[in-house]
Structure 1
Amino acid sequence: MARAARGRPARLSRDTICQAALDLLADTDAATFSLRALGDRLGVDATAIYRHFHDKDDLLREVGDRALAPVTRGFTTSADARDDIRRMCTRLRKTMLRSQVALTLTAFGPTRRGNELRITEVMLDALSRCGLSEEETVMAYHVLIEYTIGSATLDGPLAAPGADRRGTYRTWRADYAGLPVEQYPTSVRMAQKLYPSSDVVFAAGLDALIAGLTGRQ
């Protein structure tokens, strides 16, 4: 519980509320998150939170945007538009894999705040610099964002230490290798090549998407 010295409730601010919300979301999830539970964690009545945020949606959008801060922190654009796209998508996926809160809150849609707006601006600008029309730019933006978030969502449960992931992949490959060869000859033959690093798979897919969407073969 966020409390100041002498056991009194901590002075509320947007920062203290957001930090407590991040902690609560890490312990629960967005579906069960409530302002009442947040108030309990802060040691205040839930109504006090409304002095800083309009409602639960307003708060979750702010928390979600703060969770995206590592994506934009220190990011600079370059003369290579395709590299800008690649770096931004890679940063977004990495941030979501490291922050379950960021990944969970994407279900609520774009935050439409500082960090998310910066991501959108960089992506749209880079795609435009690839020579796409506005319609092509917007479609390519959505394809790339959905691919990136989808990859993070799929790989999130496996975002364990490297040794654990490698062990999981070895088990999967062994299962394929042990299939009846008369039924699954190709799967058995290629079993030891299945399930390389998820980062490698993401990068390969991202490069293919960028090449296809921007007309570079």
Structure 2
Amino acid sequence: MTDRTDRVVPETERRRRRPTKHGTVLSERAIVETALRLVGQHGAQAFTVRRLGIALGADPSAIYRYFHSTDDLLLAVADELIGLGLAGWQPTGHWRADLREVGLRIHASSLAHPQAAVLAAYRTTGRANEIRAIETMLGILREAGFPDPDAVALYHAFIDQALGFAVLDSAAVALPATAQRADNGVWDTAYRDLSPTTHPHITATADLLAADMRRSAYPLALDLLLDALAARLPS
């Protein structure tokens, strides 16, 4: 993607004084919020600055006064998603409850914006929301009593688990409705029709499989990870 570093100017100089033809006062915030909506509608791969300019009612070139490149803008969208997950959350001081709440918030925010979640999970933004999230989670672990090497390693395991499930579950949510119904229906057809002679374990648990495979395994996986963290906590 084209780098437009030379065109980015300070916030005080780039602020548009008049609304666009759609009534939007162009700002970094307005651009990111609109981009997040468009990514949700069309996916990151189909997202273009031209389409964003049309949605904002602005010349696409004006967007490069706020962002170096299209990729720079998509990183800002990914960072916005992180911020949405932590919005309004306050730590309680109980490390396990706090980590669990953060994990569930990350997962829920991703499912609310599944197309953007696939983008956010594998990018490192280096922006304010990501920095705040890392500082928060490392603080929870260090203040719980984990030595620094453990705190870093456990943070890594925690966030990769959260983002991994976020991508997996978001990809399923982003499927067309017909594909979702077809995938879910497999548990009621192919797996129920197996012979107990050849597949005794599947047939014995077919009802449980059909119910359980329709929901995310993340809450259980998160609790298992937190159990493992608690077992490693120095006394």
Q: TM-score, normalised by structure 2?
A: 0.76
Quick one: which amino acid aligns to residue 163 of structure 2? Answer: I
Quick one: which amino acid aligns to residue 175 of structure 1? Answer: A
Matches within 5 A, 1:119-134: 119-134=133-148
Which one of 184, 196, 200 corresponds to residue 185 of structure 1?
200
User: Kindly tell me: are residues 101 and 168 of structure 1, through their superposed partners in 2, closer, same or farther at Cα, counting changes over 3 Å?
Assistant: closer
Which one of 85, 88, 96 corresponds to residue 99 of structure 2?
85
User: Kindly tell me: are residues 34 and 180 of structure 1, through their superposed partners in 2, closer, same or farther at Cα, counting changes over 3 Å?
Assistant: same
Output one character per residue of 1:35-92: Cα deviation in whole Å (capped at 9) or x when no partner. 2332233333322112112222322222222223332122111221111111100110
- Identical aligned residues as a percent: 32
Which one of 43, 66, 71 corresponds to residue 80 of structure 2?
66
Matches within 5 A, 1:24-43: 24-43=38-57
Task: Confirm or deny: 8 A CA contact 1:124 1:137 kept in the other structure.
Answer: yes
Aligned position for 1:206 = 222
Quick one: which amino acid aligns to residue 187 of structure 1? Answer: I
User: Kindly tell me: are residues 108 and 210 of structure 1, through their superposed partners in 2, closer, same or farther at Cα, counting changes over 3 Å?
Assistant: closer
Which one of 51, 54, 63 corresponds to residue 68 of structure 2?
54
Q: TM-score, normalised by structure 1?
A: 0.82
Aligned position for 2:132 = 118
CA RMSD across the alignment: 3.0
Quick one: which amino acid aligns to residue 136 of structure 2? Answer: V
Between 1:139-148 and 1:62-71, the stretch displaced more is 62-71
Output one character per residue of 1:87-124: Cα deviation in whole Å (capped at 9) or x when no partner. 10011001101112430321551322232222212211
User: Kindly tell me: are residues 54 and 178 of structure 1, through their superposed partners in 2, closer, same or farther at Cα, counting changes over 3 Å?
Assistant: same
Gaps of 5+ in 2: 1-17
User: Kindly tell me: are residues 15 and 79 of structure 1, through their superposed partners in 2, closer, same or farther at Cα, counting changes over 3 Å?
Assistant: closer
Output one character per residue of 1:172-209: Cα deviation in whole Å (capped at 9) or x when no partner. 1553222121111111111111252634x322111111
Gaps of 5+ in 1: none
Which one of 106, 113, 120 corresponds to residue 106 of structure 1?
120
Task: Confirm or deny: 8 A CA contact 2:117 2:166 kept in the other structure.
Answer: yes
Between the two proteins, the alignment pairs up a number of residues equal to 210
User: Which stretches of structure 1, 4 residues or more, deviate above 3 A after TM superposition?
Assistant: 7-11, 157-160, 164-171
